[in-house]
Chains A and B, each alone.
Chain A
């Protein structure tokens, strides 16, 4: 028996050399297409913050993959110059998980909206957290379904009138932060499109964090959500980093995560670094042969013999 033949050449794992000074500018991350969001949409701020974060971290565009679901905010991968996937409604995290596990040297950033992530994709959200896969999830939470022109979302507040709740929503919204904390996320933060500089730091922290990081961003929908506007958020949001909040204290973090009303905290709510990521726990990734995606295929003769032997 011979070694399996392979027509594709043997692949060497890419060397992730650090960016040279001047090699990257913020414009490097600019996508080909100008965003098709409504003027004033909070998502512009998130895109810009993400581009700044990538630039400041010196990450080369081809070493980053931005994976989204479907929705207004999920159009983001088309507007940023990195590898991208624009998947199915609610499936960004599942596809992103597969991508990350197959090439754990890529920086994978999943983006999407509240309906995409907390509604139709809710099951993947729950399970990626307990797995602690090392990727960053940025949710542009506008508390409304925008692309379908204004229906109630899982984070719409009780009483909110939308096209599908004309008499006001009678359901309670999801609060993604406590959910993420008990779900096992190891970096849980909130940002606001009106505080872009702060958001850059939050996203940088999320990307650098080894494990699953959730950044829930208040990203107002200026067209369909007339309740939770910039004007509504501006006086309410309070930056946790300015308040001396200790993100490693679970109970205090939980108190902050639940706050809503006149004062709404933004910033890093909860973080733990004592849990390994799935990639660190998975022995298959640690035999020194680089990402799974680049490995040579085929079963060597000695292994083939063992497999056949089991059947005899």
Chain B
């Protein structure tokens, strides 16, 4: 059990500087060795509106924002009014005594008014620093780590700014020590300092580890963080990074670079992915390995650009016309995103097909602590059957200008595995055309001769055959928890952590024994293993962040399995553990088969 598990909420309008105190707290917790998860609920505006950052820390791993707030820091009256009513006994609210009025609140909530004018002088954003200093004091963290992080944070602005902020912070820290009641348990220290990473950074780091040399993108929330990381590190790591005119150009450029022999990738969100789909079919047809990350946001169309959803499953499943092999994976966390990228690149290189990653705003823009030892860059790189200028085939060829016109090399050779050795442009003796028209083994368009049904069938089957062995190379999903549980929760992608926590709560608070089947690899799908597990389950409930039950329908199409119940959320906000707990209870009591939890926090 965790010694401490506390959450801090900072709310205000965009432009009030919510992100900075969030970063400062995350750094302090992680350096102390505490695990954390930070989720920022925000809107698609640069100034104004309501932004609410929840940062939750514990000495045990933290996968989601949890159910409760321990410290509320409202930076304006709106944030006070929205969140104070949700605080429970034992929590506190830290606010500017002169500007904000607390209003109705539960018994046992500690009001912590601070004389901000006196503590900050004329510094308008100083209140943020003062409030986090007070928070740290109340949870038993020393002042020094704050001083260190502030010094780092304001390094670029010069010594005067650092001194001003450190002085304000110290005043806030001392004020809290004198006037407020601290929390009963002090924040412990973890075993070793941890890092802090967003999912977008994790995708980029994972791509870099995999050996990506070409990254292209068009800015689109919530995927832009990948592009920004890549742009910032391009020269250091020798990665070609291009911001392209549109997502159509992005995917086509990435395919060109991959065809040349680079490991190449891109990331986007659902709308951009829609523009890429025709080209994804090209990658399937000309058998070029590319990786594309769809960071899902609430759709359709522009949708809610700053809110999360798992609504693109069928779009990604159906990306591009026709039948062709593609691999689809939905990692469950920031570290999982990092580790999945090199694995996926090895698979797409081996099978010469597109690899699609389903991430979402929740994990991609969300922040997590990370054990630096888990960030292993010493990954296996397997390029599959690829021919470069100085590897096999080169030099031995009789006609360096042959291939295309003498059949010395067949790019799309009809092999037993369906995998044909792939020469990249520039290799003597292996000249060929990679064509999106159906083609023969040598790359000749079958429409350039006679549209031949036998050849067409042969090539469709050659490509399809590649998928037969992919399944053996991806891990089958495993059941988490007791085999004979009352209820089995099924989830995919980013919901893994919150479902696990709900299961712990069900066992602890409600006496309900639940287990969990989490699906990460979507295509190909471990049909037999999933059927085996679900066939034994007593009551199966599928949990997902969309309205129509996209995964439930996919599961049914692949396995014929119909779940007993569904928990779906599509209001733009992620699941909190209690949403799942309450829905499971409701369904086990026979009150509902479909639960749509309401998000109590108005963000």
A275-299 near B? 1/0 per residue, CB < 8 Å: 0000000111101010111110111
Number of residue pairs A-B, CB distance < 8 angstroms = 276
A32 contacts B by Cβ under 8 Å: yes
Do B211 and A11 touch (CB < 8 A)? no
Shortest CB distance A122–B (Å): 10
Do B431 and A61 touch (CB < 8 A)? yes
Do A8 and B378 touch (CB < 8 A)? no
Shortest CB distance A4–B (Å): 6
Q: A127-B245, A297-B263 are in contact. Are A81 and B425 (CB under 8 A)?
A: no
B213 contacts A by Cβ under 8 Å: yes
B261 contacts A by Cβ under 8 Å: yes
Q: How far apart are the CA atoms of A2 and B282 in the complex, in Å? A: 37
Chain A residue numbers with a CB within 8 Å of B444 are 32-33, 78
Q: Which of B216, B240, B375, B381 contacts A292 (CB 8 A)?
A: B240
B512 contacts A by Cβ under 8 Å: no
Do A77 and B433 touch (CB < 8 A)? yes
Residue of chain A at shortest CB distance from B286: A85
Do A61 and B377 touch (CB < 8 A)? no
Interface residue ranges of B225-246 to A (CB < 8 Å) = 233-240, 242, 244-246
Do B213 and A7 touch (CB < 8 A)? no
Q: Which of B216, B286, B382, B400 contacts A62 (CB 8 A)?
A: B400
Q: How far apart are the CA atoms of A115 and B80 in the complex, in Å? A: 58
Do B197 and A311 touch (CB < 8 A)? yes
Q: A60-B400, A84-B432, A84-B434 are in contact. Are A284 and B256 (CB under 8 A)?
A: no
Q: A4-B379, A123-B246 are in contact. Are A86 and B435 (CB under 8 A)?
A: yes
Chain A residue numbers with a CB within 8 Å of B235 are 283-284
Chain B residue numbers with a CB within 8 Å of A96 are 256
Residue of chain A at shortest CB distance from B197: A311
Do B214 and A98 touch (CB < 8 A)? yes
Residue of chain B at shortest CB distance from A295: B213
B109-149 near A? 1/0 per residue, CB < 8 Å: 00000000000000000000000000000000000000000
Q: Which of A62, A283, A301 contacts B429 (CB 8 A)?
A: A62
B457 contacts A by Cβ under 8 Å: no
Do B442 and A32 touch (CB < 8 A)? yes
Shortest CB distance A64–B (Å): 9
Q: How far apart are the CA atoms of A87 and B258 in the complex, in Å? A: 14
B404 contacts A by Cβ under 8 Å: yes
Q: How far apart are the CA atoms of A61 and B201 in the complex, in Å? A: 41
Q: How far apart are the CA atoms of A102 and B239 in the complex, in Å? A: 10
Do B425 and A5 touch (CB < 8 A)? no
Q: Which of B249, B381, B388, B424 contacts A94 (CB 8 A)?
A: B249
Q: Looking at the complex, which of A186-194, A198-206, A220-228, A302-310 is the stretch in contact with chain B? A: A302-310
Do B260 and A103 touch (CB < 8 A)? yes
B341 contacts A by Cβ under 8 Å: no
Chain B residue numbers with a CB within 8 Å of A287 are 238
Q: Which of B240, B248, B433 contacts A282 (CB 8 A)?
A: B240
Q: How far apart are the CA atoms of A65 and B431 in the complex, in Å? A: 9
Q: How far apart are the CA atoms of A310 and B208 in the complex, in Å? A: 15
Q: How far apart are the CA atoms of A33 and B450 in the complex, in Å? A: 12
Q: Which 4 residue pairs across A and B have the least CB separation, nearest first?
A: A98-B256, A297-B211, A311-B195, A293-B261
Residue of chain B at shortest CB distance from A77: B433
Q: How far apart are the CA atoms of A6 and B383 in the complex, in Å? A: 8
Shortest CB distance A190–B (Å): 25
Interface size class of A (residues with CB under 8 A): 35 or more
Do A91 and B248 touch (CB < 8 A)? yes
Chain A residue numbers with a CB within 8 Å of B31 are 312
Q: How far apart are the CA atoms of A72 and B260 in the complex, in Å? A: 25
Residue of chain A at shortest CB distance from B263: A297
Chain B residue numbers with a CB within 8 Å of A60 are 400-401, 428
Do B431 and A293 touch (CB < 8 A)? no
Residue of chain B at shortest CB distance from A123: B245
Chain A residue numbers with a CB within 8 Å of B403 are 62
B428-470 near A? 1/0 per residue, CB < 8 Å: 1111111111000011110011000000000000000000000
Shortest CB distance B256–A (Å): 3
Do A62 and B430 touch (CB < 8 A)? yes
Interface residue ranges of B377-392 to A (CB < 8 Å) = 377-383, 386, 388-391
A9 contacts B by Cβ under 8 Å: yes
Do B388 and A101 touch (CB < 8 A)? no
Q: Which residue, of B263, B386, B431, B434, has the highest number of chain A Cβ atoms within 10 A?
A: B431
Q: How far apart are the CA atoms of A187 and B214 in the complex, in Å? A: 27
Q: How far apart are the CA atoms of A14 and B213 in the complex, in Å? A: 18
Q: A84-B434, A103-B260 are in contact. Are A30 and B405 (CB under 8 A)?
A: yes
B81 contacts A by Cβ under 8 Å: no
B511-533 near A? 1/0 per residue, CB < 8 Å: 00000000000000000000000
Q: Which residue, of B376, B388, B427, B433, has the highest number of chain A Cβ atoms within 10 A?
A: B433
